[in-house]
Amino acid sequence: MIEFGNLVANLQNSLSFFLPELVLVFTLLLLIVTDLIFRKIRFINGYISLLGFVLAGIVLFIQPKNLFGFLNSFVYDDFSFFFKIIILLTNVLIVLMSFESKELMEKGRNLGEFYTFLVGMTFGMFLVSGATNLILIYLAIETMSISSYILAGYTKEIRRASEASLKYVIFGAVSSGLMIYGISLLYGLTGSLNLVEIRDFLATNKIDTLPFFISSLLILAGFAYKISAVPFHFWTPDVYEGAPITITAYLSVASKAAGFAVLLRFLKLGLSSPTEALGSLWTMVGNIDWSFILAILATLTMTLGNIVALWQNNLKRLLAYSSIAHAGYILMGVAVLNDNGTASVLVYFFMYLLMNIGAFICVMLVADKINSEDIKDFEGLGYRSPLIAAVFSILLFSLIGLPPTAGFIAKFYVFAAVIEADLIWLAVVGVINSVISLYYYVKIMRNMFIRGLDENKGSIPISGLNQVIVIILAFLTILFGVYFSPIINWANASANILIWK
Amino acid sequence: MQSSLGFPILTWIVFLPIIGMLLVLLVPLGKDERSREVSHIIMRWITVVITFIQLVLAVVIYLNYNKSLPGVNDVSTFQFVERVTWINANFPIIGQIKIEYFLGIDGLSVPMVLLTAIVCFVAVFPSFIIEKGVKGYFAMYLLLDTGMMGVFVALDFFLFYVFWELMLLPMYFLIGIWGGPRKEYAAIKFFIYTLVGSVFMLLVMIGLYYSVGSFSILDMMNPNNYKPDSIFAGMHTTIRYIAFMALFIGFAIKVPSVPFHTWLPDAHVEAPTPISVILAGILLKMGTYGMIRIAFPIFPDAVGYFQSLIAWVGMISIIYGALCALGQHKVGQRDFKKLIAYSSVSHMGYVVLGLASMRPEGISGAIFQMFNHGTITSMLFMIVGVIYDRAHTRGLDEFGGLANKMPVYTGIMMVAFFAAIGLPGLSGFISEAMVFLGAFNTYPYLTIASGLGIILGAAYMLWTLQKVFFGKLPDRWNKPWDPTGKKFPSDDLIAREYVALVPLALIIIYLGIYPNPMLSLMNTSVNYFVEFMKPFVLIGNFLSGM
Amino acid sequence: MTGENLIIFGIVVLLLPLLSFVINIFFGKKIGNKSGIVATSILGLVLILSSIVFYFKVFTSFGSKIVHKNNILWEFSDKILQLKFTWIDQQSIQLKVGIGIDNLAAIMLVVVALISFLVHLFSIEYMAGDPRYSRYFAYLGLFTFSMNGIVLANNFLFMYVFWELVGISSYLLIGFWYEKKSASDAGKKAFLVNRVGDLGFFIGIMILYFSYGTLLFDDIFSAIAQGKLPFDSETVLTLAGIFVFCGAIGKSAQFPLHVWLPDAMEGPTPVSALIHAATMVAAGVYLTARVYAMFTASALSFIASIGAITAFLAATIALTQVDFKRVLAYSTVSQLGYMIMSLGVGAYTMGFFHLVTHAWFKAALFLGSGSVIHAMHHAAHHLGDHHTDPQDIRNMGGLRRTMPWTYRTFLFVTLAICGVPLTSGFLSKDGILAGTLAYAQLTGGWHWLIPIAGFASAGLTAFYMFRLLIISFHGEPKTDVAKHTKENNWIILLPLFVLSILSFWFFYSPNPLDAHQGWFPKAIVQPKSVVPDEHQWEFLLINGYQKSEVAPHSSQISHHYLNEFEEAMHHSHYPAMFLSLLIAGTGILFAFLFYQFKIFNPDTLANQFSFLYKLSFRKWYFDEIYNATVVAFTVGFSKVSALFDLKVIDGIVNGSAWITRHFGYFIGHFDNIVIDGLVNLIANATGFFGSIVRYLQTGRVQTYVAFAVTGLVLLIYFLL
Amino acid sequence: MGIGLTHYIVLSAILFGLGIFAIITRKNAVLVLMGVELVLNSANINFIAFAKFNKMNIDGHIAAIFVIMLAAIEVAVALAIVLNIYQNYKHINVDEIDSLKD
């Protein structure tokens, strides 16, 4: 029984590293107000939210690090810092993207709530990336999910959007249901909801495997749904296709990031023993071969993503499957179950952020002009809009993972981690998959450059701002392909997940 | 040892084309026909100038190269070395990952550098025929140039891999956009085959890094650098054999050796002439170069173990490639270019055979053959290109009697053809003879069998000669190629074709009569290489029970 | 005249024809129809120089000394003057090459130079008005250059290099009129058939290089002499010898590679003269003589048998040919058989002697035929008759009157080839036959077949040569083309005179019945075999009588013979002479009976022995057999493998076709990313699975939930 | 013996199963959502039961309260979406809304 005094004290010094979240909350409230006041001025909310994100970012840097708080149910460490930065970067790009998105900028649509929910979702993700208590994890995931349900269906007069949101909400509800059920079981087994306590309990006491396995797998189901890993990927293609492209991009990066953050933290804090002797090597508690299970999941995920992507003709859908595949690659890094893998996951996410958002932006810019997301209609793009086509193909090469692009570095470090852990077979599966992925990525390039050169459809105008954005993204993709030490070092520094003694 | 010259010449020779690419991209495309034509001319000449400077640099390297230093696995005897830390990042567990920007050349790579410079220069002139998307074409062309040159000078495995993959993109587009009817198919096929080969190379590379703790190819060659109980530690372990095979197949796809060769005919048939020239002239060499630079010296034990297998691969490639070339007269589209493509398979087989011999003569011969095949096949493809540009067909059956219509052309062609069938006095003969002399020591029977390749080679070449150049000229070709006389002033060769073909012909004849300049380049390194390999190879042979 | 100068002369002789080639190939257009004159005068110079070389080498002697200046090594001895230098100089591979002049080379140089010169001269008239006039002389130059290279080479490398060059220049000349399919075919055939021989030659070279690390004749021979055998086995040495001899089989058109020579007729007639008399076919014999020292007994008997077979075979074929030049062609093959046979049996001197004498009269025969064909051609042209084949002897007849000088020279050289006394042919041929007899005596057994073949073909030669002569020159003109033929001008006739005169005996030996009294046997001495004694005929051992106690026949050897064989040969000299005269005489007689006096009718005979006739007429079906077997196999195999490549490796056609049929629907989607072959298969499979998996994506969220939950259960089930 | 922990767990398991079953089988979106409610409440039962019987801290109770609250929010949002669906499709039959698929 904690009595009230120290509770308050705890709360106070916890708030000292809860500032970014608070910033986001205030931004959110502010947005509601401004939305009520300036209905006419469309962009103001966008700029306010941008401001909020930037502010949150600044606060992230200045506030103290590596602390537990809120009765050890929340932590702020290098690990969550990395993910929060990624999430914020994604947000900024998404907001910029939203300014250009035709479907959002339609007449008479009020964008106030859009940004409000964006901020709300961000808040949820921040919590997710820091939560160390199963209940908090559950709440945080629900916070981001519920906002995302709404965002997915934000363009509500469009049928496919509303369909997407329905599917999303039902599937999400189910998997969160599974998750909470699993949590309840785990609570029953270990008598605690705090990851650290759970681990200690598992480390000391002997519990029979089956219920423990079932419960933890049910919890993993919740995460798997966030990172759209097999078999909880089914919602991904439909929702990605249906949702506004901005949101698709957002889901494909940010919420995946949050999902992986919590997954890793769960594994490290909840299921691996705290022995510092081994340093960055994890020793899992409970007699279950998590590494193998995760490797299987990774294999299934990337293979499925790739072989189904071969068949897609709708670019959004294709990218959806490709994002599933990438989740698979990242899972390889998780399956290694040591800081090495964690670091490789971080690296991957940073590179993935650049190339995937970039790809979505390219698709959006073109699709809005030609009113189609069909690959066929991208034929001859190389001549109608050389710049976009060039940038797009750079990003695609990065997604394939060919040097000298960021994508190669990302894959390189994942494979490095995997081989280091002697999971050679997994590495082989990985490279074979990246060969398969070549087919469909190249298919896009083929349509842009090799096909449809003859019929002259006239060029596609692209506004200056967009040109700058995509060029920057492409440039970064190349830059981090040839000079990547800073990213690696940063990931290395952020790789160790804070353990509470 | 720092470059004996004042400036980092290798960096220049590698990245000069990138500068050229940027220049080409900066050239504004005019609105109307006239100004567009002008800008096209500018781009062409930018490329000519850039590749020419590159050629000059290559010659400078050749002149300043010290033939007495072996190189191979000894960094102190590499030349024009440039070595700076490129990436130096920490990573959990693994610790510091250090990647170097490490360039340098020795006797194994100098001929290739020369070859690349030469072929890239001459191949620009056939490119003048390109009318569509000129800017993109030359940009890609120069990017490709950088990639290839980089492969031949990189001594850091990571860097090597980056350059190796860097070529894929331009090559894909060059075949895919400017290619023939089935270009899509050919381009993707090339892409897939090469990628399949290289991804496994990636894994082996990572494994080697863990075992050695450095990406330097030279460090990987030294057994003492291998950490105990690391994955590739020790010698003659199964995992090392597997890794070697992964590398070997990766390179064999590029060579291409039977049975990994099927991408080649398609790629060649579809690619535009200059790209075929580069493909056959340089890209194929990267396969064999990779073997001798990476696969063999890093896994010498495995070489010993698989030596006879490699020799077999070479022999089969020789015979099979020649038979397929001969068969082009009978089946398929009877395509002139396809025939040459298969002849490449056959001729690269000699290289593999020579490498397998593990004898100084054989390996010198192999490298020399790489160079000669580079020049000879480049000529052959340009020769095909010449009639294709005029007649817009490559059917072997559709020609005849060209000797009367185009005597000079026929003369030059004969040099290339006779060089290709190994006529003494032309460079092809010496390299093939050396390969045979070397291989005969190790594999007498395989070598004698490969000898059939000589006869078959003569057969399909003479057959082609007869079909295309002798006999009666079909009536459809009786009128001049280009009645307007604008594109082809004369029925025979035109200026830029002379510029492309004559230098190669001279090189072929010169090296045929006096090969020492080229041989002495590689001589020291080759002997050193063989000596270095010998002990491991012997044990390997013993283990494989041959 | 110092040795250096002599060698310099030799080099000049070697290079001048190359000069003529260069001039004519690059400036041929400029100098136009002067090029004939230019080339001929260059060759005249060559002739003079080589005669000088010949004279000084054969009739004067140079002291033996060794000079070594700026890494060129000059070696002089009474036998040979040579220089050596290193061509490829690496640690890895060191190839010493050089040129050497011994009597063999000196004599050969003159033969080549003279015939080549005469052919040039002849061609000025013969080829006049040809569109590629200068090209023709360029090729002639190249040809002569390559042949001189072979003659002067003192190492296998040069030998092989020029060997191939001879091949290529013959290819160019035989296929000179490449508008004619038959011509370019013939060229191709010649080159390919030779390539087969060359492969053997090259293998031989590889064996030797592998064993001795050098390609100089001297070094190799001395190494063998020291008892160092390749692979330490005498069998391999024999094999090496036979492999090297394969080159000769190819170039000298020996059985079974003789098929190219008759087709080589497609080239211009002077070229045929050049090929048949001096350059190409001589090369094989010359090579055999050159490396004679390294042949073991078994290798020699192999060579002898090949020669005998060829001689007989060709003679039988020549009996029935109707194409003027074909008859001569087969007679060449037959005569080459003689030479090879004679080398094989050990009558080294006589074999080479025959090469020389044969060179003159065969050149004369061909140029004669050229003259005839030229005349026929002009006549036909004059009459505007384009049907009569100017080469078919059945269209000739009676040319004796219209072309008297051609007839006379032709008659004389025909006598020479038949081996009638007072001709050079008699001397050499008689010597060879004597040699075969001696050989048979000394070895016995089946070896008797060799002299039998020899004598038989001597008779046949006499018969078919006179058949040719009578049908074409005697009797009444069979066509009015033949009637209107005219004698050619002096440019054509001069070579004929020169060559026929050279076929008189007195150039070689004061005694028209015995060559051994002439200068030739003294100039050309059988080289001392380097093969260990136990692996060679003991009767060929120089001064064999020293081991007379072991040698069976050596009891009564008198000492002025080189070896036992020499003696036996001497003894069998007169028997051989009478026998050969008898047989030749009969041959000639029968020829007259058949064709002049028509006492017997050849056609009825042909009908009676129609099988034999066909066999001979169709050249023993060699071409047919080869086309049916070797060629068909190669081409078929190539077709197969090309198809294989096109379809199987590059298709796994059945595989992908099967898949395509079965999963046509999926493939339909798939085509645009289909990769073929094995990859194709994998890709299809991948795509197939993909298409299966994507059917889980039904679009109904509830099914998704169901699948997800099932998946979860399965995971729990399997992973636990 | 009275009602023990086992009974509760079995009950919750049954509820859970029923919930999943409902979600998978019901046509009507609202009924599907009720299935979700069942799942969530089965979890609640677990929480309470464990908290009660295992003599544990109050986390279980707190968790239950949170879950109830979240369930309410979730249903609110979900119903809004279903409403939107109704406007677009004029029906809320989940299994007929399948335009997005492969």
Q: Of the given ranges (A169-173, B392-396, C580-584), which has the lowest mean pLDDT?
A: B392-396
Helices (H), B179-237: 183-212, 217-221
Secondary structure (3-state) at A10: helix
Q: What is the rounded average pLDDT of the residues C644-656?
A: 54
Using CA coordinates, name the residue in chain A closest to B199.
A431
B125, B387, D31, D55 from D35: Cα distances, Å: 73, 76, 6, 31
Q: Note whether A234 contacts C697, CB cutoff 8 Å.
A: yes
Question: In Å, how far is C322's CA from the nearest CA of chain B?
Answer: 27
Q: According to the model, what pLDDT value does residue B493 have? A: 83
Mutation site, C715, C716, C717, C720, interface A, largest A CB count within 10 A: C715
Rounded to an integer, what distance in angstroms lies between the CA atom of residue A274 and that of residue A283? 8
- The answer to whether A307 contacts C687, with C-beta atoms less than 8 Å apart, is yes
Please report residues of C whose CB lies closer than 8 A to that of A170: 701-702, 705
C541 or B303, greater pLDDT: B303
Q: Are residues C88 and B430, on separate chains, in Cβ contact within 8 Å? A: yes
Count of domains forming chain D: 1
| pLDDT of A220 | 92
**Sequential pLDDT tens for chain A (501 residues):** 557 778 888 888 888 888 999 999 999 999 999 888 887 777 888 899 999 999 999 999 998 888 888 888 898 988 999 999 999 999 999 999 998 888 888 877 888 889 999 999 999 999 999 999 999 999 999 999 999 999 999 988 888 899 999 999 999 999 999 999 999 999 988 888 888 888 888 888 888 888 888 998 999 999 999 999 988 999 999 999 999 999 999 999 999 999 999 999 999 888 887 765 455 677 777 778 889 999 999 999 999 998 888 888 899 999 999 999 999 999 999 999 888 899 999 999 999 999 999 999 999 999 988 888 898 888 888 888 888 999 999 999 999 999 889 999 999 999 999 998 889 999 999 998 998 888 889 889 988 888 877 666 778 888 888 889 999 999 999 999 999 999 999 998 888 877 765
CATH number at residue D52: 1.10.287.3510
Q: Model confidence at B313, in pLDDT bands (50, 70, 90)?
A: very high
What is the residue-wise DSSP string for A380-432? THHHH-HHHHHHHHHHHHHHHT-TTSHHHHHHHHHHHHHHHTT-HHHHHHHHH
- Residue C47 pLDDT > 50: yes
Cβ of A419 within 8 Å of Cβ of B210? The answer is yes
Percentage of the residues of chain B whose pLDDT score is greater than 90: 42
Q: Looking at residue C562, what is its pLDDT?
A: 64
Residues 6+ apart with CB under 8 A from A453: A380, A382, A383, B132, B177
In angstroms, rounded to a whole number, what is the distance separating the alpha carbons of residues C336 and C349? 15
What is the reported pLDDT for B543?
84
CA–CA separation, A69 and B364 (whole Å): 71
Q: At what angle do helices C217-225 and C181-212 cross, to 10 degrees?
A: 50
Q: How much is the pLDDT for C388? A: 75
* Angle between helical axes of B183-212 and C677-693 (0-180°, round to 10): 90
Burial class (CB in 10 A: 0-12, 13-18, 19+), C442: buried
Q: Is the pLDDT of residue C555 over 60?
A: no
Contact C188 B425 (CB under 8 A): no
> Who among B86, B93, B191 is closest to A340 (CB)?
B93
In a domain, D57, yes or no: yes
User: How close C96 comes to chain B (CA, Å)?
Assistant: 13
A473 touches C at CB < 8 Å = no
Does the CB of C699 have a partner CB in chain A at under 8 Å? yes
The residue segments making up the domain with residue D29 are 5-96
Q: Inspect the interface and report whether the beta carbons of D94 and C699 lie closer than 8 Å.
A: no
pLDDT score recorded for residue C428:
87
Q: How far apart are CA C522 and CA C515, in angstroms?
A: 10
Q: B161 to chain A: which residues are within 8 Å by CB? A: 403
**Over chain D, what is the mean pLDDT?**
89
Neighbours of chain A (3+ CB pairs under 8 A): B, C, D
C699: nearest CB among A170, A231, A238: A238
Task: Measure the CA–CA gap between C312 and C334, rounded to whole angstroms.
Answer: 7
| Nearest by CB: A139 against D23, D29, D70 | D70
Which residues in chain D have Cβ-Cβ distances shorter than 8 Å to C692?
none
Residue of B nearest to C631 (CA): B459
Eight-class DSSP state of C530: -
Tokens for A453?
């050169």
Residue D48 reports pLDDT greater than 80 = yes
Q: Where are the alpha helices (DSSP H) in C252-279?
A: 260-263, 269-273
Q: What is the pLDDT of residues B136-175, one digit of tens each?
A: 899 999 999 999 999 999 999 999 999 999 988 899 999 9
In the prediction, which pLDDT does C347 show?
84
Minimal C-alpha gap between C707 and chain D (Å): 10
Give the Cα separation of B462 and C187 in Å (integer).
9
Q: Chain A within 8 Å of B176 (Cβ-Cβ)?
A: yes
B259 lies within 8 A of chain C by CB: yes
Does the pLDDT at position B23 exceed 90? Answer: yes
Residue with tokens 């493939």: C667
Which residue of B lies nearest to C158 if distances are taken between CA atoms? B424
Q: Give the closest-approach CA distance of A126 to chain B in angstroms.
A: 25
**pLDDT of the residue at C653:** 37
Q: Is residue D102 situated within a structural domain?
A: no
- Cα D7 off chain centre by: 20
Q: In the numeric block, which tokens belong to residue C532? A: 């260990």
- Quick one: average pLDDT of B200-208? 92
CA–CA gap between residue C414 and residue C462 (Å, rounded): 8
Instruction: Decide: A328 and A302 in contact? Cβ < 8 Å.
Output: yes
What's the pLDDT score for residue B544? 79
Average pLDDT of the residues of chain C = 81
The pLDDT assigned to B529 comes to 92
Closest chain A residue to C695 measured between Cα atoms? A308
Amino acid identity of residue C451, one-letter, is P
Is the CB of A424 less than 8 angstroms away from the CB of B203?
A: yes
Direct distance between the N- and C-terminal alpha carbons of chain C, in angstroms, rounded to an integer: 102
| Axis crossing angle, helix B407-420 with helix B427-442, rounded to the nearest 10 | 10
Is residue C632 pLDDT above 80, yes or no? Answer: no
Predicted local distance difference test score (pLDDT) of residue B332: 65
Instruction: Report the chain D residue with the minimal C-alpha distance to residue A144.
Output: D74
Residue D101 belongs to some domain of the structure:
no
pLDDT band at C655 (very low <50, low <70, confident <90, very high): very low
> What is the four-CA torsion angle of C118, C121, C127, C128, rounded to 10 degrees?
-170
Nearest-angstrom CA–CA distance, B248 and B250: 5
Closest residue by Cα to residue B122 from B505, B427, B413, B430: B505
CB atoms within 10 A of CB A214: 19
Q: Which residues of D touch A135 (CB under 8 A)?
A: 59, 62-63, 66
Instruction: Tell me whether strands C72-76 and B95-105 are parallel, antiparallel or unpaired.
Output: unpaired
Listed by start position, the domains of chain A span 1-271, 275-501
Confidence at D13, pLDDT banded by 50, 70, 90: very high
- Convert B448-484 to b/e letters by CB count within 10 Å (16 or more is b): bebbbbbbbbbbbbbbbbbbbbbbebeeebeeebeee
CB contact under 8 A, A397 and B188: no
Q: Which H helix or E strand runs over B90?
A: strand B79-91
* pLDDT, mean of residues C348-369: 88
Q: Do A142 and D97 touch (CB under 8 A)?
A: no
Q: Which of A218, A234, A443 sits opposite C707 (nearest CB)?
A: A234
CB-defined contacts A:B, below 8 A: 109
What are the DSSP E strand ranges found in B211-343?
none
Tokens encoding C462: 């006499």
Of C693, C699, C716, the CB nearest to A217: C716
Q: Does position C547 have pLDDT exceeding 70, yes or no?
A: no
Q: Find the CB nearest D24 among C694, C699, C702.
A: C702
What subunits touch chain D, counting only 3 or more CB pairs under 8 A? A, C
> Quick check: C406 and C493 in contact, CB under 8 A?
yes
Whether residue D102 and residue C697 make contact (CB cut-off 8 A), yes or no, is: yes
D23, D99, D101 ranked by CB distance to C702: nearest: D23
Distance in Å, alpha carbon of C715 to nearest chain A alpha carbon: 9
Looking at beta carbons, which residues of chain B come within 8 Å of A483? 86-87
Does B contact A via 3+ CB–CB distances below 8 Å? yes
Tally C–D CB contacts below 8 A: 30
The confidence score (pLDDT) of residue B181 equals 83
pLDDT value for A146: 93
For chain B, say whether C210 makes contact (Cβ under 8 Å).
Answer: yes
pLDDT (tens digit per residue) in B70-114: 888 888 889 899 999 998 888 887 888 889 999 999 989 999 999
